[in-house]
Amino acid sequence: QVQLVESGGGSVQPGGSLKLSCAISGLLSENYCLAWFRQAPTKEREGVAALSSVYRRTTYADSVNGRFTISRSNADGTLFLQMNSLKPDDTALYFCAAARSFSFTCNMMSTAYNSWGQGTQVTVSS
């Protein structure tokens, strides 16, 4: 059973940076899609970035491309999301998610993921 635990959220001013972490356990040796999603109040959950665990292909939402970077530690498998140039629109509850994958790239449809963390809050405000 895959388990995910996010950390690293907080409050930051516009233009600032945060790095989210997701500790992952229970992954098998096969390829997985590992992704970050976010959900703001009254909005639907949206994909932010995704990474294939074996092929290391990355996918980003247009709204964060060039500002956010998804990566994974080779040492312990922790998933990261480095967020730079943060904007008030980035304010949301951020989740990490995982799903077995049989393709080189990962999509960011929430229905494709079956393991989720509890979320960590990111607030961008002056």
Q: Give tens-digit pLDDT for 66-112.
A: 999 999 998 899 999 999 999 999 999 999 999 999 888 899 999 99
The count of other CB atoms within 10 Å of the CB of residue 112 is: 15
- Residue burial 79-98, b: 16+ Cβ < 10 Å; e: rest: bbbebeebeeebbbbbbbbb
Q: Give tens-digit pLDDT for 19-46.
A: 999 999 988 778 899 999 999 999 999 9
